[in-house]
């Protein structure tokens, strides 16, 4: 193992920022956690109102009638399941003020955690109502399934919707998802929107909380329309507007080392693109082979209008194809996204740790940190040539009057663990920890930081796999 | 709520409870569809 450390203390004159060609004036807006808390309270209240809709539609006599309890169970599970499905859609609608606090990876984590609930509740809804109706009509459950699907209005569509939800749920199970191509998983996931649209009508037409209650119908429809509007606005509208406004094109493709490529992108009005160091975009390169897929890559430097830069390691088909991009290729973007920014910092100073290509997000974050952060930067690589953007990071650490440690060697010997951190960073108690790199590396550094007493709100990391 | 996932579960529960109580009181037990 080799450890190379360089300290650039306050007595050294600060040098200019690396490659500074005129800094973009605006970073991303600071996150507003109070607004997210308020939104959370609204979501909680909405859940309460949804439950009340089901409960107030029941009477004691209905409950005690044959099949009454199962029918009530079916109604309440259906309403709550549908409401939670809407919340799931909201979680991936990329509403900016929520995304700035939770980050894309945080939102996806919540989306995944919530997912089993609406699907289970909606399956329970179908089963319980079938049982309840069968008991009420004193017929068999299988016979009742046929009756419900063929004779009740909009039930065929709702049954198809449930099938699609079950399919999307099944392919999202980790073991199944691993065997699928990302694009297949994504396409089937899009059917969830279709499933929600198909299931909408039967709730309004058949739901005991809605039939004969036009105001409730109106409020429920408004909630659905608002959700659809937010998705259309932030997932589709805003990216299209941004892409048209900035008209990004590939200017240059540059090799940064074995398998690592920087793409320099030029565009209009980039001074108005509010992006902070550490954030990423979903990049859609409009070539014949790549236009249909958008992949997340961090910016590896703050924008220098009229230029942006991303740096990518070839680990898959898409990232490998970037090296073959031709100047002039048009680009559509979604973003910027990510809460891995200077706004997340809670303590006066910062420790930045990166391995492999994780250095790209760290490099733009480092550039964006206030000078008082006196950053300690730890870069880890198996070989010297794995230390991507090494010269730029060194220069930025120098300009921030920080300290740089390079750990080179195999994973066992050049490990960033509790011992290494406490030895290299004696003032850890004053620092926030930002980690970026492969999943296993991030997990081990986060665990080490926690064990050394850094509170969770001062540990920031961005997962590679989105 | 913080990014680390420390969602204020009690706040979520309380706002849900409020929503439920206020809505139940204002809807009244109407017995649903005829």
Q: ipTM of this model? A: 0.79
Closest CA to A254 of A204, A182, A311: A311
pLDDT at A143 over 50: yes
- Residues A391, A319: Cα–Cα separation, whole Å: 23
* pLDDT on residue B2: 46
- Residues A350, A334: Cα–Cα separation, whole Å: 29
Closest CA to A357 of A439, A273, A412, A267: A439
Residue contact A57–B4, C-beta within 8 A: no
Q: How far is A106 from chain B (nearest CA, A)?
A: 7
Between A465 and A22, residue with greater pLDDT:
A465
Q: How far is B18 from chain A (nearest CA, A)?
A: 6
Residue contact A58–B31, C-beta within 8 A: yes
pLDDT band at A29 (very low <50, low <70, confident <90, very high): confident
Which residue from A102, A212, A457 is facing B33, i.e. has the nearest CB?
Answer: A212
Q: Is the separation of the CB atoms in A445 and A435 below 8 Å?
A: yes
Judge whether A450 is closer than 8 Å to chain B, CB to CB.
no
* pLDDT on residue A451: 96
Residue contact A37–B31, C-beta within 8 A: no
Q: In percent, how much of chain B has pLDDT > 70? A: 59
pLDDT at B13 over 90: no
Q: In percent, how much of chain A has pLDDT > 90? A: 64
pLDDT at A148 over 60: yes
- Residues A220, A30: Cα–Cα separation, whole Å: 33
pLDDT band at A217 (very low <50, low <70, confident <90, very high): very high
The mean per-residue pLDDT over the stretch A209-231 comes to 92
Residue contact B33–A37, C-beta within 8 A: no
pLDDT at A164 over 60: yes
Q: What are phi and psi of A254, to 5 degrees?
A: -130, 135
The mean per-residue pLDDT over the stretch A146-157 comes to 89
pLDDT at A88 over 90: yes
* Residues in chain B closer than 8 A to A460 (CB atoms): 3
pLDDT at A466 over 70: no
Judge whether B10 is closer than 8 Å to chain A, CB to CB.
no
Which residue from B16, B29, B30 is facing A45, i.e. has the nearest CB?
Answer: B16
Interface list for A 286-305 with B (CB within 8 A): none
* pLDDT on residue A379: 95
The pTM for the full model equals 0.84
- Residues A112, A275: Cα–Cα separation, whole Å: 27
The mean per-residue pLDDT over the stretch B6-28 comes to 83
Judge whether A208 is closer than 8 Å to chain B, CB to CB.
yes
* pLDDT on residue A10: 43
Q: Describe the strand order of the beta sheet including A260-266 as a list of residue ranges.
A: A295-298, A280-285, A330-337, A248-257, A260-266, A307-313
* Residues in chain B closer than 8 A to A209 (CB atoms): 32
Which residue from B17, B24, B32 is facing A208, i.e. has the nearest CB?
Answer: B32
Q: Describe the strand order of the beta sheet including A2-7 as a list of residue ranges.
A: A2-7, A403-408, A376-381, A349-355, A431-436, A459-462
pLDDT at A272 over 70: yes
* pLDDT on residue A385: 83
Q: Is the separation of the CB atoms in A22 and A92 below 8 Å?
A: no
Judge whether B9 is closer than 8 Å to chain A, CB to CB.
no
Buried b (16+ CB within 10 A) or exposed e, A199-237: bbebbbebbbbbeebeebbeebeebbeebbebbeebeee
Q: Which residues pair with A378 in a beta bridge?
A: A353, A405
Q: How many CB pairs under 8 A join A and B?
A: 106
Other Cβ atoms less than 10 A from the Cβ of A350: the count is 27
* pLDDT on residue A318: 85
* Residues in chain B closer than 8 A to A53 (CB atoms): 23, 27
Residue contact B15–A41, C-beta within 8 A: yes
Which residue from A33, A57, A110 is facing B30, i.e. has the nearest CB?
Answer: A57
Q: How far is A135 from chain B (nearest CA, A)?
A: 19
Residue contact B4–A456, C-beta within 8 A: yes
Tokens 């507007």 belong to: A241
The mean per-residue pLDDT over the stretch A188-202 comes to 90
Judge whether A202 is closer than 8 Å to chain B, CB to CB.
no
- Residues B33, A171: Cα–Cα separation, whole Å: 37
Closest CA to A369 of A390, A406, A344, A388: A344
- Residues A339, A280: Cα–Cα separation, whole Å: 10
- Residues A79, A51: Cα–Cα separation, whole Å: 7
Contacts of A425 by beta carbon, 8 Å cutoff, 6+ apart = A351, A376, A378, A431
The mean per-residue pLDDT over the stretch A362-371 comes to 93
Give the model confidence (pLDDT) of A400-450 as tens digits: 999 999 999 887 778 899 999 999 999 999 999 999 998 899 999 999 999
Give the model confidence (pLDDT) of A31-82 as tens digits: 888 899 899 999 999 999 999 999 998 888 888 999 999 999 999 999 999 9
- Residues A445, A462: Cα–Cα separation, whole Å: 12
- Residues A454, A70: Cα–Cα separation, whole Å: 50
pLDDT at A114 over 90: yes
* DSSP codes, A440-464: HHHHHHHHHHHHTT--GGGEEEE-S
pLDDT at A331 over 80: yes
Q: Is the separation of the CB atoms in A278 and A338 below 8 Å?
A: yes
Q: What are phi and psi of A132, to 5 degrees?
A: -60, -45
Residue contact B19–A106, C-beta within 8 A: no
């Amino acid at each position: 193992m080799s450890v190379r450390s360089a300290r650039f203390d306050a007595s050294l004159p600060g040098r200019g920022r690396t490659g500074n060609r005129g800094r973009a004036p605006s970073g991303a807006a600071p996150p507003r956690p109070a607004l997210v808390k308020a939104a959370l309270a609204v979501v909680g209240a909405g859940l309460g109102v949804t439950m009340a809709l089901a409960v107030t539609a029941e009477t004691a006599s209905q409950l005690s009638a044959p099949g009454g309890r199962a029918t009530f169970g079916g109604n309440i599970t259906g309403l709550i399941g549908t409401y939670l499905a809407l919340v799931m859609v909201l979680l991936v609608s990329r509403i900016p003020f929520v995304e700035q606090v939770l980050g894309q990876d945080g939102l996806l984590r919540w989306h995944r955690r919530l997912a089993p609930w609406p699907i289970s509740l909606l399956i329970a809804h179908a089963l319980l109502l079938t049982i309840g109706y069968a008991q009420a009509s004193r017929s068999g459950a299988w016979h009742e399934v046929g009756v419900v699907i063929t004779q009740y209005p909009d039930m065929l569509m709702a049954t198809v919707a449930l099938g699609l939800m079950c399919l999307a749920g099944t392919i999202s199970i980790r073991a199944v998802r691993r065997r699928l191509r990302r694009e297949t998983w994504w396409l089937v996931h899009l059917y969830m929107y279709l499933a929600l649209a198909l299931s909408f009508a039967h709730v309004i037409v058949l739901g005991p909380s809605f039939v004969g209650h036009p105001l409730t119908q109106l409020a429920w429809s408004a909630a659905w329309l608002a959700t659809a509007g937010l998705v259309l606005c932030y997932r589709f509208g805003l990216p299209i507007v941004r892409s048209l406004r900035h008209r990004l094109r590939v200017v240059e493709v540059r090799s940064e080392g074995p398998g690592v490529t920087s793409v320099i992108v030029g565009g209009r009005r980039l001074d108005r693109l509010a992006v902070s160091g550490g954030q990423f975009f979903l990049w859609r390169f409009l070539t014949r082979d790549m236009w249909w897929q958008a992949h997340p890559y961090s910016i590896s430097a703050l924008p220098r209008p009229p230029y942006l830069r991303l740096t990518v390691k070839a680990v898959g088909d898409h990232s490998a194809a970037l090296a073959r991009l031709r100047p002039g290729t048009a680009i559509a973007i979604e973003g910027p996204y990510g809460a891995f920014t200077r706004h997340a910092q809670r303590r006066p100073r910062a420790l930045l740790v990166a391995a492999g290509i994780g250095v790209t997000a760290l490099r733009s974050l480092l550039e964006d940190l206030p000078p008082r952060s006196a950053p300690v930067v730890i870069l880890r690589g198996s070989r010297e040539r794995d230390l991507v953007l090494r010269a730029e990071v060194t220069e930025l650490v120098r300009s921030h009057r920080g300290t740089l440690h390079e750990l080179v060697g195999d994973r066992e010997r050049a490990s960033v663990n509790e011992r290494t951190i406490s030895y290299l960073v004696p003032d850890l108690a004053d620092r926030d920890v930002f980690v970026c790199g492969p999943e296993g590396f991030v997990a081990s550094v986060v665990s080490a930081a926690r064990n050394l007493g850094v509170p969770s709100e001062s540990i920031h990391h961005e997962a590679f796999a989105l | 709520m913080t990014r680390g996932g420390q969602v204020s579960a009690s706040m979520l529960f309380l706002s849900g409870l409020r929503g439920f109580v206020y809505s139940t009181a204002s809807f009244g037990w109407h017995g649903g569809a005829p």
